[in-house]
Structure 1
Amino acid sequence: MSESVNNDKPSVPSAPNESNKKFKLATTKLLKASQKYSAYGILAFAGLHLTSTVILPPISFNVANKAFMVGRSVYQSELGEFFLVYLSFGIHILSGFLLRMFRLYWSYKDSNKLKFPKVSTVSKSGFVLTFLTSMHFLATRVSPTKALGDSSLISLEYMAYCLNVDRIPTSIALVLLTTVFATHAMYGATYYFKIPKPKQYLTIVAAGLATLAASALAKHEPATGWLAEQFELAHSWLPKTLSGSA
Protein backbone atom coordinates (compact mmCIF):
# COMPACT_ATOMS: atom_id res chain seq x y z
CA MET A 1 0.00 0.00 0.00
CA SER A 2 1.48 3.28 -1.09
CA GLU A 3 2.12 5.88 1.59
CA SER A 4 0.09 9.02 1.15
CA VAL A 5 2.08 12.17 0.88
CA ASN A 6 0.74 15.49 2.09
CA ASN A 7 1.60 18.03 -0.54
CA ASP A 8 -0.36 20.85 1.10
CA LYS A 9 1.63 24.05 1.27
CA PRO A 10 1.48 26.49 4.20
CA SER A 11 -1.29 28.98 3.76
CA VAL A 12 -0.15 32.39 2.58
CA PRO A 13 -2.09 35.50 3.58
CA SER A 14 -4.07 36.82 0.70
CA ALA A 15 -3.08 40.10 -0.90
CA PRO A 16 -6.36 41.81 0.08
CA ASN A 17 -5.79 40.91 3.77
CA GLU A 18 -2.25 42.29 3.68
CA SER A 19 -3.54 45.42 1.97
CA ASN A 20 -6.25 45.88 4.62
CA LYS A 21 -3.70 45.43 7.40
CA LYS A 22 -1.40 48.05 5.89
CA PHE A 23 -4.31 50.44 5.42
CA LYS A 24 -5.40 49.92 9.04
CA LEU A 25 -1.89 50.61 10.37
CA ALA A 26 -1.37 53.63 8.11
CA THR A 27 -4.75 55.13 9.00
CA THR A 28 -4.21 54.63 12.73
CA LYS A 29 -0.75 56.17 12.50
CA LEU A 30 -2.05 59.18 10.55
CA LEU A 31 -4.94 59.84 12.93
CA LYS A 32 -2.74 59.50 16.02
CA ALA A 33 -0.19 61.89 14.50
CA SER A 34 -2.98 64.36 13.69
CA GLN A 35 -4.18 64.25 17.28
CA LYS A 36 -0.68 64.56 18.70
CA TYR A 37 0.53 67.50 16.63
CA SER A 38 -2.75 69.43 16.68
CA ALA A 39 -2.41 69.39 20.47
CA TYR A 40 0.54 71.78 20.18
CA GLY A 41 -1.71 74.50 18.79
CA ILE A 42 -4.28 73.88 21.51
CA LEU A 43 -1.62 74.06 24.22
CA ALA A 44 -0.31 77.34 22.79
CA PHE A 45 -3.82 78.80 22.88
CA ALA A 46 -4.48 77.43 26.37
CA GLY A 47 -1.19 78.79 27.67
CA LEU A 48 -2.12 82.30 26.57
CA HIS A 49 -5.75 82.05 27.65
CA LEU A 50 -5.45 80.28 31.00
CA THR A 51 -2.58 82.47 32.17
CA SER A 52 -4.83 85.53 32.03
CA THR A 53 -8.10 83.92 33.12
CA VAL A 54 -6.98 81.47 35.82
CA ILE A 55 -3.43 82.12 37.04
CA LEU A 56 -3.17 85.92 37.15
CA PRO A 57 -6.60 87.14 38.43
CA PRO A 58 -5.91 86.23 42.10
CA ILE A 59 -2.63 88.17 41.86
CA SER A 60 -3.76 91.32 40.04
CA PHE A 61 -6.90 92.03 38.04
CA ASN A 62 -5.25 94.80 36.01
CA VAL A 63 -2.24 92.66 35.10
CA ALA A 64 -4.52 89.74 34.24
CA ASN A 65 -6.74 91.92 32.05
CA LYS A 66 -3.73 93.33 30.18
CA ALA A 67 -2.45 89.78 29.65
CA PHE A 68 -5.90 88.80 28.40
CA MET A 69 -5.92 91.61 25.85
CA VAL A 70 -2.41 90.70 24.65
CA GLY A 71 -3.36 87.03 24.33
CA ARG A 72 -6.58 87.88 22.54
CA SER A 73 -4.68 89.95 19.99
CA VAL A 74 -2.79 86.75 19.14
CA TYR A 75 -5.47 84.05 19.13
CA GLN A 76 -8.19 86.27 17.67
CA SER A 77 -6.02 87.63 14.87
CA GLU A 78 -6.89 86.33 11.41
CA LEU A 79 -4.05 83.79 11.28
CA GLY A 80 -3.96 83.11 15.02
CA GLU A 81 -7.63 82.22 15.25
CA PHE A 82 -7.46 80.01 12.16
CA PHE A 83 -4.40 78.01 13.27
CA LEU A 84 -4.70 78.03 17.08
CA VAL A 85 -8.47 77.69 17.35
CA TYR A 86 -10.31 76.43 14.29
CA LEU A 87 -7.60 74.26 12.71
CA SER A 88 -6.06 72.87 15.92
CA PHE A 89 -9.33 72.14 17.70
CA GLY A 90 -11.00 70.91 14.50
CA ILE A 91 -8.24 68.44 13.60
CA HIS A 92 -7.88 67.25 17.21
CA ILE A 93 -11.58 66.55 17.70
CA LEU A 94 -12.18 65.09 14.22
CA SER A 95 -9.15 62.79 14.31
CA GLY A 96 -10.17 61.50 17.75
CA PHE A 97 -13.70 60.81 16.55
CA LEU A 98 -12.52 59.07 13.37
CA LEU A 99 -9.98 56.99 15.29
CA ARG A 100 -12.71 55.68 17.59
CA MET A 101 -15.07 54.99 14.66
CA PHE A 102 -12.36 53.14 12.69
CA ARG A 103 -11.49 51.02 15.72
CA LEU A 104 -15.15 50.12 16.15
CA TYR A 105 -15.41 49.19 12.46
CA TRP A 106 -12.23 47.11 12.46
CA SER A 107 -13.30 45.32 15.63
CA TYR A 108 -16.56 44.39 13.94
CA LYS A 109 -14.76 43.23 10.79
CA ASP A 110 -12.36 41.03 12.78
CA SER A 111 -14.86 39.38 15.12
CA ASN A 112 -18.18 39.96 13.33
CA LYS A 113 -19.42 41.41 16.61
CA LEU A 114 -19.96 45.02 17.58
CA LYS A 115 -17.49 45.61 20.41
CA PHE A 116 -17.08 49.17 21.59
CA PRO A 117 -13.45 50.10 22.39
CA LYS A 118 -12.62 50.76 26.03
CA VAL A 119 -13.17 54.40 26.98
CA SER A 120 -10.02 55.67 28.68
CA THR A 121 -9.68 58.67 30.99
CA VAL A 122 -8.27 60.77 28.17
CA SER A 123 -11.25 59.84 25.95
CA LYS A 124 -13.84 60.51 28.66
CA SER A 125 -12.33 63.90 29.48
CA GLY A 126 -12.12 64.62 25.74
CA PHE A 127 -15.85 64.06 25.26
CA VAL A 128 -16.72 66.32 28.20
CA LEU A 129 -14.17 68.94 27.16
CA THR A 130 -15.58 69.09 23.62
CA PHE A 131 -19.00 69.95 25.03
CA LEU A 132 -17.67 72.48 27.58
CA THR A 133 -15.41 74.18 25.03
CA SER A 134 -18.28 74.43 22.54
CA MET A 135 -20.49 76.11 25.14
CA HIS A 136 -17.65 78.44 26.13
CA PHE A 137 -17.15 79.42 22.49
CA LEU A 138 -20.88 80.06 22.08
CA ALA A 139 -21.01 82.19 25.24
CA THR A 140 -17.87 84.29 24.70
CA ARG A 141 -17.50 84.46 20.92
CA VAL A 142 -20.75 83.71 19.13
CA SER A 143 -23.18 85.34 21.57
CA PRO A 144 -21.34 88.71 21.78
CA THR A 145 -20.84 88.76 18.00
CA LYS A 146 -24.53 88.13 17.36
CA ALA A 147 -25.66 90.65 19.99
CA LEU A 148 -23.08 93.41 19.46
CA GLY A 149 -21.62 92.82 16.01
CA ASP A 150 -18.26 91.57 17.31
CA SER A 151 -16.58 90.33 20.50
CA SER A 152 -14.14 93.22 20.98
CA LEU A 153 -15.68 94.17 24.35
CA ILE A 154 -15.13 90.72 25.83
CA SER A 155 -12.44 90.89 28.51
CA LEU A 156 -11.99 90.04 32.17
CA GLU A 157 -14.41 92.90 32.83
CA TYR A 158 -17.02 90.80 31.06
CA MET A 159 -16.11 87.72 33.09
CA ALA A 160 -16.42 89.77 36.28
CA TYR A 161 -19.82 90.99 35.11
CA CYS A 162 -21.02 87.44 34.40
CA LEU A 163 -19.79 86.27 37.81
CA ASN A 164 -21.72 89.07 39.50
CA VAL A 165 -24.90 88.35 37.53
CA ASP A 166 -24.78 84.53 37.60
CA ARG A 167 -22.11 83.71 40.17
CA ILE A 168 -22.77 80.03 40.81
CA PRO A 169 -23.31 78.84 37.19
CA THR A 170 -20.38 80.91 35.88
CA SER A 171 -18.07 79.77 38.70
CA ILE A 172 -18.99 76.13 38.12
CA ALA A 173 -18.40 76.53 34.38
CA LEU A 174 -14.95 78.07 34.93
CA VAL A 175 -13.87 75.41 37.42
CA LEU A 176 -15.21 72.55 35.30
CA LEU A 177 -13.63 73.80 32.08
CA THR A 178 -10.23 74.33 33.72
CA THR A 179 -10.26 71.02 35.60
CA VAL A 180 -11.39 68.89 32.66
CA PHE A 181 -8.88 70.57 30.35
CA ALA A 182 -6.06 69.94 32.83
CA THR A 183 -7.10 66.29 33.16
CA HIS A 184 -7.31 65.80 29.40
CA ALA A 185 -3.97 67.53 28.78
CA MET A 186 -2.13 65.57 31.48
CA TYR A 187 -3.45 62.16 30.45
CA GLY A 188 -3.00 63.01 26.78
CA ALA A 189 0.63 63.88 27.43
CA THR A 190 1.04 60.56 29.23
CA TYR A 191 -0.35 58.72 26.21
CA TYR A 192 1.46 60.56 23.41
CA PHE A 193 4.68 61.71 25.04
CA LYS A 194 5.21 58.76 27.39
CA ILE A 195 5.63 60.90 30.50
CA PRO A 196 4.80 59.45 33.94
CA LYS A 197 1.12 59.13 34.80
CA PRO A 198 -0.10 62.38 36.42
CA LYS A 199 -0.85 62.49 40.11
CA GLN A 200 -4.46 63.03 41.15
CA TYR A 201 -3.55 66.06 43.23
CA LEU A 202 -2.65 67.97 40.04
CA THR A 203 -6.32 67.91 39.04
CA ILE A 204 -7.19 69.26 42.49
CA VAL A 205 -4.59 72.02 42.02
CA ALA A 206 -6.21 73.00 38.70
CA ALA A 207 -9.65 73.11 40.32
CA GLY A 208 -8.26 75.17 43.21
CA LEU A 209 -6.64 77.71 40.89
CA ALA A 210 -9.88 78.10 38.93
CA THR A 211 -11.85 78.55 42.16
CA LEU A 212 -9.45 81.27 43.33
CA ALA A 213 -9.72 82.97 39.94
CA ALA A 214 -13.52 82.91 40.02
CA SER A 215 -13.51 84.33 43.54
CA ALA A 216 -11.08 87.11 42.59
CA LEU A 217 -13.03 88.08 39.47
CA ALA A 218 -16.33 88.06 41.37
CA LYS A 219 -14.89 90.56 43.87
CA HIS A 220 -13.99 93.01 41.11
CA GLU A 221 -16.39 95.95 40.89
CA PRO A 222 -18.73 95.20 37.97
CA ALA A 223 -19.08 97.48 34.96
CA THR A 224 -21.77 100.16 34.97
CA GLY A 225 -23.51 102.42 32.46
CA TRP A 226 -23.16 101.82 28.74
CA LEU A 227 -20.59 99.05 29.16
CA ALA A 228 -22.88 97.14 31.52
CA GLU A 229 -25.70 97.46 28.99
CA GLN A 230 -23.50 95.96 26.26
CA PHE A 231 -22.44 93.15 28.58
CA GLU A 232 -26.08 92.40 29.36
CA LEU A 233 -26.91 92.17 25.65
CA ALA A 234 -24.00 89.81 25.05
CA HIS A 235 -24.70 87.74 28.16
CA SER A 236 -28.43 87.34 27.53
CA TRP A 237 -28.35 86.59 23.79
CA LEU A 238 -27.61 82.87 24.10
CA PRO A 239 -30.21 81.99 26.79
CA LYS A 240 -32.85 84.03 24.95
CA THR A 241 -32.00 82.32 21.67
CA LEU A 242 -32.11 78.85 23.23
CA SER A 243 -35.45 79.61 24.88
CA GLY A 244 -36.84 81.08 21.64
CA SER A 245 -37.52 84.51 23.15
CA ALA A 246 -34.77 86.40 21.28
Structure 2
Amino acid sequence: MSSSSTSSLRTVPPEPITLNDDPIPGIPTSGSPSKPFTLCLIPALKQVQKYSTIPFSIFAILHVSAVVVAPATAGTGIAEELISAGRELYQVSGFEQGLLISTLLHVFSGVALSLLRQYDRYIKYGSRKARVTSTRKKASKFPSSDPNDEIVDDKNEGLGGISSLLGLGSRKSLTYKYLGLSPLSFSGYVLVACLAYHVVKERINPLLVDGDSSMVDLSYVSHAINLDPLKTIVGMSVLVGTSAYHILSGWNRYLKLFTLRARKRTYGLIAILTALAFVSCFEIKKIGPAYGVTAKTFNAYIEAL
Protein backbone atom coordinates (compact mmCIF):
# COMPACT_ATOMS: atom_id res chain seq x y z
CA MET A 1 0.00 0.00 0.00
CA SER A 2 1.40 3.40 -0.95
CA SER A 3 2.25 6.02 1.65
CA SER A 4 -0.27 8.44 0.09
CA SER A 5 -3.11 5.93 0.59
CA THR A 6 -2.05 5.33 4.18
CA SER A 7 -1.93 9.02 5.00
CA SER A 8 -5.48 9.48 3.66
CA LEU A 9 -6.95 7.12 6.30
CA ARG A 10 -8.43 8.90 9.30
CA THR A 11 -9.72 7.70 12.64
CA VAL A 12 -13.51 8.09 12.82
CA PRO A 13 -15.09 8.33 16.30
CA PRO A 14 -17.78 5.65 16.91
CA GLU A 15 -21.37 6.89 16.69
CA PRO A 16 -24.52 4.97 17.65
CA ILE A 17 -26.69 3.80 14.80
CA THR A 18 -30.28 5.02 15.13
CA LEU A 19 -32.79 2.24 14.50
CA ASN A 20 -36.50 2.55 13.86
CA ASP A 21 -38.31 1.54 17.07
CA ASP A 22 -41.52 0.59 15.27
CA PRO A 23 -42.36 -3.09 15.86
CA ILE A 24 -42.20 -5.42 12.89
CA PRO A 25 -45.65 -6.95 12.31
CA GLY A 26 -45.78 -10.61 13.34
CA ILE A 27 -42.53 -10.50 15.37
CA PRO A 28 -42.76 -10.09 19.17
CA THR A 29 -40.87 -7.15 20.62
CA SER A 30 -38.61 -7.79 23.60
CA GLY A 31 -39.26 -5.86 26.77
CA SER A 32 -42.88 -5.18 25.87
CA PRO A 33 -44.28 -2.30 27.94
CA SER A 34 -47.32 -4.41 28.72
CA LYS A 35 -45.25 -7.16 30.36
CA PRO A 36 -45.28 -5.95 34.00
CA PHE A 37 -48.93 -5.00 33.63
CA THR A 38 -50.04 -8.37 32.27
CA LEU A 39 -47.73 -10.35 34.56
CA CYS A 40 -49.64 -8.98 37.54
CA LEU A 41 -53.20 -8.95 36.26
CA ILE A 42 -53.54 -12.01 34.03
CA PRO A 43 -52.56 -14.64 36.66
CA ALA A 44 -54.81 -12.97 39.26
CA LEU A 45 -57.75 -12.86 36.86
CA LYS A 46 -57.19 -16.51 35.96
CA GLN A 47 -57.52 -17.48 39.62
CA VAL A 48 -60.67 -15.37 40.03
CA GLN A 49 -62.18 -16.92 36.90
CA LYS A 50 -61.29 -20.43 38.04
CA TYR A 51 -62.56 -20.40 41.63
CA SER A 52 -65.65 -18.30 40.91
CA THR A 53 -67.02 -21.29 38.97
CA ILE A 54 -67.36 -23.45 42.09
CA PRO A 55 -70.61 -21.95 43.53
CA PHE A 56 -72.38 -21.95 40.16
CA SER A 57 -71.20 -25.49 39.37
CA ILE A 58 -72.66 -26.76 42.65
CA PHE A 59 -75.91 -24.89 42.02
CA ALA A 60 -76.09 -26.25 38.46
CA ILE A 61 -75.73 -29.86 39.67
CA LEU A 62 -78.54 -29.43 42.20
CA HIS A 63 -80.84 -27.49 39.88
CA VAL A 64 -80.34 -29.72 36.83
CA SER A 65 -80.92 -32.82 38.96
CA ALA A 66 -84.31 -31.47 40.05
CA VAL A 67 -85.55 -29.85 36.84
CA VAL A 68 -83.90 -31.92 34.09
CA VAL A 69 -82.90 -35.36 35.33
CA ALA A 70 -85.71 -36.11 37.80
CA PRO A 71 -88.74 -35.31 35.57
CA ALA A 72 -87.32 -37.37 32.70
CA THR A 73 -86.27 -40.38 34.78
CA ALA A 74 -88.36 -40.43 37.99
CA GLY A 75 -91.43 -38.35 37.18
CA THR A 76 -92.67 -34.89 38.04
CA GLY A 77 -93.71 -35.88 41.60
CA ILE A 78 -90.12 -36.61 42.65
CA ALA A 79 -88.97 -33.52 40.76
CA GLU A 80 -91.37 -31.29 42.74
CA GLU A 81 -89.99 -32.67 46.01
CA LEU A 82 -86.44 -31.94 44.90
CA ILE A 83 -87.39 -28.43 43.77
CA SER A 84 -89.04 -27.72 47.15
CA ALA A 85 -85.96 -28.98 48.98
CA GLY A 86 -83.70 -26.96 46.72
CA ARG A 87 -85.75 -23.79 47.23
CA GLU A 88 -84.98 -23.96 50.94
CA LEU A 89 -81.30 -23.76 50.03
CA TYR A 90 -81.48 -21.32 47.10
CA GLN A 91 -83.49 -18.70 48.95
CA VAL A 92 -81.60 -18.84 52.24
CA SER A 93 -80.23 -15.45 53.24
CA GLY A 94 -77.04 -14.64 51.35
CA PHE A 95 -77.05 -17.66 49.02
CA GLU A 96 -78.51 -15.92 45.99
CA GLN A 97 -76.33 -12.87 46.54
CA GLY A 98 -73.22 -15.02 46.79
CA LEU A 99 -74.20 -16.96 43.67
CA LEU A 100 -74.81 -13.73 41.76
CA ILE A 101 -71.49 -12.21 42.88
CA SER A 102 -69.51 -15.33 41.94
CA THR A 103 -71.22 -15.48 38.53
CA LEU A 104 -70.52 -11.80 37.82
CA LEU A 105 -66.90 -12.25 38.91
CA HIS A 106 -66.55 -15.16 36.50
CA VAL A 107 -68.04 -13.22 33.59
CA PHE A 108 -66.15 -9.98 34.19
CA SER A 109 -62.82 -11.73 34.82
CA GLY A 110 -63.27 -13.66 31.56
CA VAL A 111 -64.01 -10.50 29.59
CA ALA A 112 -61.08 -8.69 31.24
CA LEU A 113 -58.73 -11.57 30.41
CA SER A 114 -59.81 -11.50 26.78
CA LEU A 115 -59.25 -7.75 26.51
CA LEU A 116 -55.86 -7.92 28.25
CA ARG A 117 -54.67 -10.70 25.96
CA GLN A 118 -55.79 -8.76 22.89
CA TYR A 119 -53.94 -5.67 24.19
CA ASP A 120 -50.83 -7.74 24.91
CA ARG A 121 -50.87 -9.20 21.39
CA TYR A 122 -51.30 -5.71 19.95
CA ILE A 123 -48.27 -4.43 21.87
CA LYS A 124 -46.11 -7.43 21.00
CA TYR A 125 -47.05 -7.88 17.35
CA GLY A 126 -47.92 -4.35 16.25
CA SER A 127 -51.33 -5.34 14.92
CA ARG A 128 -54.67 -6.02 16.55
CA LYS A 129 -55.20 -8.78 13.99
CA ALA A 130 -52.08 -10.67 15.00
CA ARG A 131 -52.88 -13.95 16.73
CA VAL A 132 -50.67 -16.33 18.57
CA THR A 133 -50.80 -19.80 17.09
CA SER A 134 -51.61 -22.48 19.62
CA THR A 135 -49.38 -25.52 19.81
CA ARG A 136 -50.34 -29.13 20.11
CA LYS A 137 -48.90 -31.16 22.96
CA LYS A 138 -48.39 -34.90 22.77
CA ALA A 139 -49.22 -37.15 25.65
CA SER A 140 -45.60 -38.17 26.18
CA LYS A 141 -42.24 -38.48 24.49
CA PHE A 142 -43.30 -41.94 23.41
CA PRO A 143 -47.03 -41.54 22.64
CA SER A 144 -49.41 -44.45 22.95
CA SER A 145 -50.59 -46.22 19.82
CA ASP A 146 -54.15 -45.71 21.07
CA PRO A 147 -55.51 -42.56 19.36
CA ASN A 148 -57.77 -41.98 22.38
CA ASP A 149 -54.65 -41.10 24.38
CA GLU A 150 -53.77 -38.24 22.05
CA ILE A 151 -53.56 -34.93 23.91
CA VAL A 152 -54.56 -31.75 22.15
CA ASP A 153 -54.11 -28.73 24.40
CA ASP A 154 -55.54 -26.09 22.08
CA LYS A 155 -58.29 -23.95 23.57
CA ASN A 156 -59.30 -22.70 20.11
CA GLU A 157 -60.36 -26.23 19.15
CA GLY A 158 -62.64 -26.69 22.16
CA LEU A 159 -63.61 -30.35 22.39
CA GLY A 160 -62.34 -31.03 18.89
CA GLY A 161 -65.62 -30.84 17.01
CA ILE A 162 -67.36 -33.57 15.02
CA SER A 163 -64.17 -34.26 13.04
CA SER A 164 -62.48 -35.28 16.29
CA LEU A 165 -65.24 -37.77 17.12
CA LEU A 166 -64.97 -39.27 13.63
CA GLY A 167 -61.23 -39.78 14.05
CA LEU A 168 -60.31 -37.11 11.50
CA GLY A 169 -58.37 -35.01 14.00
CA SER A 170 -59.21 -31.80 15.81
CA ARG A 171 -59.59 -28.58 13.86
CA LYS A 172 -59.85 -24.90 14.63
CA SER A 173 -63.43 -24.04 15.58
CA LEU A 174 -65.65 -21.86 13.42
CA THR A 175 -66.11 -19.47 16.34
CA TYR A 176 -62.35 -18.87 16.43
CA LYS A 177 -62.04 -18.69 12.67
CA TYR A 178 -64.76 -16.07 12.19
CA LEU A 179 -65.11 -14.38 15.60
CA GLY A 180 -61.70 -14.85 17.20
CA LEU A 181 -63.36 -16.63 20.16
CA SER A 182 -62.61 -20.09 21.46
CA PRO A 183 -65.66 -22.40 21.71
CA LEU A 184 -65.45 -22.12 25.51
CA SER A 185 -65.57 -18.30 25.40
CA PHE A 186 -68.32 -18.27 22.76
CA SER A 187 -70.47 -20.70 24.75
CA GLY A 188 -69.94 -18.48 27.79
CA TYR A 189 -71.38 -15.43 26.02
CA VAL A 190 -74.36 -17.46 24.76
CA LEU A 191 -74.88 -18.86 28.25
CA VAL A 192 -74.94 -15.37 29.79
CA ALA A 193 -77.77 -14.37 27.44
CA CYS A 194 -79.72 -17.61 28.10
CA LEU A 195 -79.28 -17.36 31.87
CA ALA A 196 -80.32 -13.70 31.94
CA TYR A 197 -83.56 -14.55 30.12
CA HIS A 198 -84.16 -17.56 32.38
CA VAL A 199 -83.60 -15.57 35.59
CA VAL A 200 -85.92 -12.81 34.39
CA LYS A 201 -88.78 -15.25 33.72
CA GLU A 202 -88.25 -17.52 36.73
CA ARG A 203 -87.12 -15.12 39.45
CA ILE A 204 -87.26 -11.41 38.63
CA ASN A 205 -90.74 -11.28 37.06
CA PRO A 206 -92.40 -13.13 39.99
CA LEU A 207 -90.66 -10.71 42.37
CA LEU A 208 -92.00 -7.76 40.39
CA VAL A 209 -95.56 -9.15 40.33
CA ASP A 210 -95.94 -10.79 43.77
CA GLY A 211 -92.85 -9.81 45.71
CA ASP A 212 -91.64 -13.44 45.86
CA SER A 213 -91.36 -16.51 43.66
CA SER A 214 -93.04 -19.08 45.89
CA MET A 215 -95.53 -19.99 43.14
CA VAL A 216 -92.77 -20.87 40.66
CA ASP A 217 -92.77 -24.65 40.33
CA LEU A 218 -93.26 -27.24 37.61
CA SER A 219 -96.87 -26.15 37.10
CA TYR A 220 -95.57 -22.72 36.10
CA VAL A 221 -93.10 -24.32 33.70
CA SER A 222 -95.86 -26.53 32.33
CA HIS A 223 -98.10 -23.49 31.80
CA ALA A 224 -95.30 -21.75 29.85
CA ILE A 225 -94.67 -24.86 27.73
CA ASN A 226 -98.35 -25.23 26.88
CA LEU A 227 -98.61 -21.55 25.92
CA ASP A 228 -95.65 -21.73 23.53
CA PRO A 229 -94.27 -25.28 23.18
CA LEU A 230 -91.70 -24.65 20.47
CA LYS A 231 -90.12 -21.58 22.05
CA THR A 232 -90.03 -23.01 25.57
CA ILE A 233 -88.82 -26.51 24.71
CA VAL A 234 -86.12 -25.28 22.33
CA GLY A 235 -85.10 -22.58 24.81
CA MET A 236 -84.79 -25.05 27.71
CA SER A 237 -82.81 -27.50 25.58
CA VAL A 238 -80.43 -24.79 24.37
CA LEU A 239 -79.96 -23.52 27.93
CA VAL A 240 -79.13 -26.98 29.28
CA GLY A 241 -76.92 -27.92 26.30
CA THR A 242 -74.97 -24.65 26.44
CA SER A 243 -74.60 -24.85 30.23
CA ALA A 244 -73.37 -28.44 30.00
CA TYR A 245 -70.86 -27.57 27.27
CA HIS A 246 -69.48 -24.51 29.04
CA ILE A 247 -69.25 -26.03 32.52
CA LEU A 248 -67.91 -29.45 31.49
CA SER A 249 -65.51 -28.07 28.89
CA GLY A 250 -64.29 -25.50 31.40
CA TRP A 251 -63.64 -28.10 34.09
CA ASN A 252 -61.84 -30.24 31.50
CA ARG A 253 -59.39 -27.37 31.04
CA TYR A 254 -59.00 -26.73 34.75
CA LEU A 255 -58.36 -30.44 35.40
CA LYS A 256 -56.14 -30.69 32.26
CA LEU A 257 -58.27 -33.44 30.69
CA PHE A 258 -57.17 -32.96 27.09
CA THR A 259 -57.20 -36.52 25.76
CA LEU A 260 -59.54 -37.55 22.99
CA ARG A 261 -61.05 -40.12 25.36
CA ALA A 262 -61.91 -37.38 27.88
CA ARG A 263 -63.41 -35.19 25.17
CA LYS A 264 -65.55 -38.06 23.87
CA ARG A 265 -66.90 -38.69 27.36
CA THR A 266 -67.65 -34.99 27.74
CA TYR A 267 -69.53 -34.93 24.44
CA GLY A 268 -71.50 -37.98 25.57
CA LEU A 269 -72.50 -36.35 28.86
CA ILE A 270 -73.52 -33.13 27.07
CA ALA A 271 -75.68 -35.13 24.67
CA ILE A 272 -77.31 -37.08 27.52
CA LEU A 273 -78.15 -33.92 29.51
CA THR A 274 -79.54 -32.15 26.45
CA ALA A 275 -81.68 -35.17 25.57
CA LEU A 276 -82.93 -35.38 29.17
CA ALA A 277 -83.88 -31.70 29.02
CA PHE A 278 -85.91 -32.36 25.87
CA VAL A 279 -87.68 -35.37 27.42
CA SER A 280 -88.20 -33.51 30.69
CA CYS A 281 -90.05 -30.70 28.89
CA PHE A 282 -92.56 -33.18 27.47
CA GLU A 283 -93.04 -34.81 30.88
CA ILE A 284 -93.61 -31.44 32.53
CA LYS A 285 -95.98 -30.41 29.73
CA LYS A 286 -98.31 -33.27 30.78
CA ILE A 287 -99.15 -31.36 33.98
CA GLY A 288 -101.16 -29.08 31.73
CA PRO A 289 -101.87 -25.34 31.65
CA ALA A 290 -103.11 -23.46 34.71
CA TYR A 291 -106.63 -22.01 34.96
CA GLY A 292 -108.39 -19.15 36.70
CA VAL A 293 -106.48 -16.91 39.10
CA THR A 294 -103.37 -19.10 38.86
CA ALA A 295 -103.32 -18.74 35.08
CA LYS A 296 -103.61 -14.95 35.37
CA THR A 297 -100.73 -14.89 37.83
CA PHE A 298 -98.55 -17.10 35.63
CA ASN A 299 -99.34 -14.97 32.56
CA ALA A 300 -98.35 -11.87 34.53
CA TYR A 301 -95.04 -13.54 35.40
CA ILE A 302 -94.36 -14.36 31.74
CA GLU A 303 -95.31 -10.91 30.44
CA ALA A 304 -93.87 -8.63 33.17
CA LEU A 305 -90.55 -8.13 31.36
Q: TM-score range by the shorter chain?
A: 0.7 to 0.9
Structure whose alpha-carbon radius of gyration is higher: 2
For 2:40 and 2:90, the matched residues in 1 are separated by 33
**As a proportion of its length, which structure holds more helix?**
1
8 Å Cα contact 2:227/2:289 also seen in 1: no
1:23 maps to amino acid: F
**CA apart distance, 1:236:** 1.9
Give the one of 126, 135, 139 matched to 1:112: 126
| Counterpart for residue 71 of structure 2 | 57
Who is 1:230 aligned against? 297
RMSD (CA atoms) = 2.4
CA offsets per residue over residues 74-111 of structure 1, 9 Å max, x none?
12222110112x11211110100100011111111112
Deviating above 4 A after TM superposition, structure 1's stretches of 4 or more consecutive aligned residues are 17-20
Pick one of 283, 290, 297 that aligns with 1:216: 283
For residue 223 of structure 1, give the secondary structure of its aligned residue in structure 2.
coil
Tell me which of 195, 220, 225 is aligned to 1:163: 225
Q: Which residue of 1 aligns with 2:25?
A: none
Q: 1:127 aligns with which of 189, 209, 228?
A: 189
The residue type equivalent to 1:221 in the other structure is G
Q: How far 1:116 moved relative to its partner? A: 7.0
Choose from 84, 89, 92 the match for 1:77.
92
Q: How does 1:23-34 map to 2 (within 5 A)?
A: 23-34=37-48
Task: Pick the aligned partner of 1:198 from 249, 258, 263.
Answer: 263
In the TM superposition, what whole-angstrom CA distance separates every residue of 1:105-153 from its partner, at most 9, and x where no partner exists? 1111112211376421111111110111111111111122222222221
Map 1:4-15 to 2 at 5 A: none
Shift of 1:68: 0.9
Q: Is the 8 A contact 2:55 2:102 kept in 1?
A: yes
Q: Say how many residue pairs are matched.
A: 228
For structure 2, which runs of at least 5 residues remain unmatched after alignment? 1-5, 7-11, 17-30, 132-179
Identity among equivalent positions (%) equals 29
1:188 counterpart = 2:203: no
* Cα distance in structure 2, aligned partners of 1:173 and 1:72: 22
Are the aligned partners of 1:148 and 1:233 in contact in 2 as well (CA < 8 Å)? no
Higher RCO, 1 vs 2 (CA within 8 Å, ≥6 residues apart): 1
